[in-house]
C-alpha cells in the first residue's frame, strides 16, 4: 500500500503530455485521411484522459502538500499546465470526430477553469517564492506549456464557435487566447534564446521538452489557421481580421519550421555524437506532441493559405509522428511493467 501511495505522491504533473500527444496525432490523422489510426488513437485517449484525470484528482485529495511543493518548483510546476492543454486537446479531438458534441462545451469550460487556477497559482508561487534558481537549473522548454495551454483553449473555442447558437463570445475568446499565447511565446522564447546562446549547456540538459520551442509555435499556427476559417465563414470576428490573421499565422508557421533543423541537429549531437542513451520518461511525449502539432498546423495552414505545394510536408511528418508515438508508448508500457513487476512477484 505504501508503495502505491509513494507512486501516487511522486506522479509527474506533466504526465498529461501523453494525452496531448495522442490527441493531436489523432487529429492530424483525421485531417490527412488516416481514419483507422485516428480512431484508434481516439480510443486510447478515451481511456487515458479519464484515467490521468482520476490520478490527478486523487493526488490532489490525498497529497495536497505534494501539489503545493510541485506548483512552486521551477522544474515540475509548469508541468501542471499539461492538464489544461490535455483537456483542451481532448475536447478538440472529440469535436474533430463529431463525437459526443454535448461534451465539448463542458471540456472547454473545464479547460478555462483549470487555466485560471493553475496559471495564476503557478505564477504567484514563482513570484513570491524565496528559493529561485538561475536559468541554467530552473528553466527549460516545459515553461512553454504556458503558451501551449493558452493556444489549446483557442483551438477548442473555434470548434465550439462553429456549433454554438451564439458564436461571437467564443470567437472573441479564441482570438484573445491566440494573441495572448503569441505574446507569452515572445516573452519566454527570449529567455530561452538567451539561455541557449549565453549560458553553458551540456548534452544532458538538451532534453525533450525543448521540442516545445517548435510545438508552441505550431499550435499557434494551427489556432491561427482555424481562426482564418472562422473569419471566412463570417463567424463574429472583427472587421478586416483576415489580413492580420494571415500575416501572424504565417509568422507562427515559419517560426515553427525554423526550429526543426536546429532541434534535429541537437538531437543527433546528443544521442548520436555524444552517445547519450535514450531512456523513457514522461518528457518523451513532449517530443511527440510538437511533431503531431506541426503536421496538423501545416496541413491546415496550406489549406487556408491556398498553398498546395505544402501538402507533401504533413504527409512526411505524420509518419514521423506515428513512429514517435509508437516508440513513446512502448517505452511507457515497458517502464510501467518493470515498475510493477517486482511487487507482483513478491506477492506470488
Mind listing the pLDDT tens digit for each residue in 172-188?
999 999 999 999 999 99
User: Distance between CA 77 and CA 119 in Å, rounded?
Assistant: 10
pLDDT of 244-279, one tens digit each?
899 999 999 999 999 999 999 988 888 767 766 777
The pLDDT of 126-137, averaged and rounded, is 85
pLDDT value for 342: 53
Contacts of 295 (CB under 8 A, 6+ apart): 25, 28, 32, 314, 317, 318, 321
Who has greater pLDDT, 121 or 162? 121
Give the C-alpha separation, 122 to 142, whole Å.
13
pLDDT at 294 over 90: yes
Determine the pLDDT at residue 348. Answer: 41
Query: Right CATH number for 2-347 from 3.40.50.880, 3.40.50.10420, 3.30.210.10, 1.50.10.150?
Result: 1.50.10.150
Q: What is the pLDDT of residues 137-186, one digit of tens each?
A: 888 889 999 999 999 999 999 999 988 888 889 999 999 999 999 999 99
Radius of gyration of the chain (CA): 20
Higher pLDDT, 132 or 178: 178
How large is the average pLDDT for residues 320-345?
Answer: 79
**Are the CB atoms for 87 and 111 separated by under 8 Å?**
yes
What is the mean predicted confidence (pLDDT) over 95-113? 95
The pLDDT of residue 242:
78
Q: How far apart are CA 35 and CA 72, in angstroms?
A: 42
pTM score, whole prediction: 0.92
Q: Which residue has better confidence, 4 or 92?
A: 92
pLDDT of residue 282 exceeding 70, the answer is yes
Predicted pLDDT of residue 339? 63
Q: Yes or no: say if 245 and 224 are a contact pair by the CB < 8 Å rule.
A: yes
Instruction: Report the SS3 class of residue 166.
Output: coil
CA–CA distance, 160 with 171 (Å, rounded to integer) = 9
Say what the pLDDT of residue 209 is.
85
- Which residues contact residue 43 at a Cβ distance below 8 angstroms, ignoring those fewer than 6 apart? none
Helix ranges (DSSP H) in the chain: 2-9, 17-32, 35-62, 64-71, 81-96, 103-128, 135-138, 145-161, 167-198, 212-232, 241-268, 285-304, 312-347
Cα separation, 32 vs 20, in Å, equals: 18
Question: Is the pLDDT at 2 greater than 70, yes or no?
Answer: no
Other beta carbons less than 10 A from residue 190's beta carbon: 10
Share of the chain above pLDDT 70, in %: 92
- Give the residue from 320, 319, 253 showing the smallest Cα distance to 287: 320
Digit-coded pLDDT (tens) for 45-77: 999 999 999 999 999 999 999 999 999 999 899
Mapping DSSP onto H, E and C, the string for 196-207 reads HHHCCCCHHHCC
Grid coordinates standing for 161? 464557435
Residue 203 reports pLDDT greater than 90: no
At 311 the three-state DSSP class reads: coil
Mean pLDDT (the chain) is 89
* pLDDT value, residue 341: 62
Q: Where are the domains of the chain?
A: 2-347
End-to-end CA, the chain = 16
Picking from 267, 328, 266, the residue whose alpha carbon sits closest to that of residue 292 is 328
Q: What is the number of other CB atoms lying within 10 angstroms of the CB of residue 312?
A: 11
Q: Does the pLDDT of residue 3 top 60, yes or no?
A: no
What per-residue confidence (pLDDT) applies to 346?
Answer: 39
Please check whether residue 286 is in contact with residue 17, taking contact to mean a CB–CB distance below 8 angstroms: yes
pLDDT at 344 over 70: no
If pLDDT is split at 50, 70 and 90, which confidence band does 5 have?
low
How does pLDDT run across 27-46, given as a tens digit for each residue? 999 999 999 999 999 999 99
Amino acid at each position: 500500500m505504501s508503495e502505491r501511495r509513494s507512486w501516487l505522491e511522486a506522479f509527474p504533473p506533466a504526465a498529461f503530455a501523453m494525452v496531448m500527444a495522442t490527441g493531436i496525432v489523432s487529429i492530424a490523422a483525421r485531417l490527412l485521411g488516416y481514419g483507422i489510426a485516428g480512431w484508434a488513437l481516439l480510443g486510447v485517449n478515451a481511456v487515458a484522459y479519464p484515467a490521468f484525470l482520476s490520478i490527478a484528482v486523487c493526488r490532489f485529495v490525498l497529497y495536497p502538500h505534494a501539489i503545493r511543493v510541485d506548483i512552486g518548483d521551477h522544474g515540475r510546476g509548469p508541468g501542471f499546465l499539461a492538464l489544461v492543454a490535455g483537456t483542451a486537446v481532448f475536447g478538440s479531438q472529440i469535436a474533430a470526430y463529431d463525437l459526443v458534441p454535448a461534451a465539448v462545451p463542458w471540456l472547454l469550460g473545464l479547460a478555462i477553469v483549470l487555466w485560471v487556477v493553475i496559471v495564476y497559482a503557478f505564477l504567484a508561487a514563482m513570484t513570491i517564492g524565496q528559493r529561485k534558481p538561475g536559468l541554467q537549473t530552473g528553466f527549460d522548454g516545459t515553461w512553454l506549456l504556458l503558451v501551449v495551454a493558452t493556444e489549446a483553449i483557442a483551438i477548442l473555442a473555434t470548434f465550439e464557435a462553429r456549433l454554438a447558437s451564439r458564436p461571437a463570445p467564443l470567437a472573441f475568446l479564441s482570438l484573445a487566447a491566440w494573441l495572448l499565447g503569441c505574446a507569452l511565446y515572445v516573452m519566454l522564447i527570449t529567455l530561452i534564446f538567451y539561455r541557449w546562446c549565453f549560458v553553458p549547456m551540456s548534452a544532458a540538459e538538451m532534453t525533450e521538452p525543448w521540442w516545445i520551442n517548435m510545438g508552441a509555435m505550431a499550435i499557434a499556427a494551427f489556432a491561427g489557421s482555424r481562426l482564418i476559417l472562422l473569419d471566412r465563414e463570417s463567424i463574429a470576428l472583427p472587421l478586416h481580421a483576415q489580413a492580420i490573421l494571415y500575416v501572424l499565422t504565417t509568422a507562427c508557421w515559419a517560426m515553427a519550421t525554423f526550429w526543426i533543423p536546429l532541434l534535429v541537429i541537437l538531437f543527433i549531437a546528443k544521442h548520436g555524437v555524444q552517445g547519450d542513451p535514450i531512456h523513457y520518461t514522461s518528457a518523451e511525449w513532449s517530443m511527440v506532441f510538437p511533431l503531431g502539432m506541426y503536421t496538423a498546423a501545416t496541413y491546415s495552414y496550406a489549406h487556408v493559405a491556398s498553398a498546395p505545394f505544402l501538402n507533401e510536408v504533413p504527409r512526411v511528418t505524420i509518419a514521423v509522428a506515428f513512429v514517435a508515438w509508437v516508440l513513446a508508448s512502448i517505452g511507457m508500457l515497458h517502464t510501467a511493467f518493470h515498475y510493477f513487476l517486482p511487487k507482483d512477484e513478491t506477492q506470488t
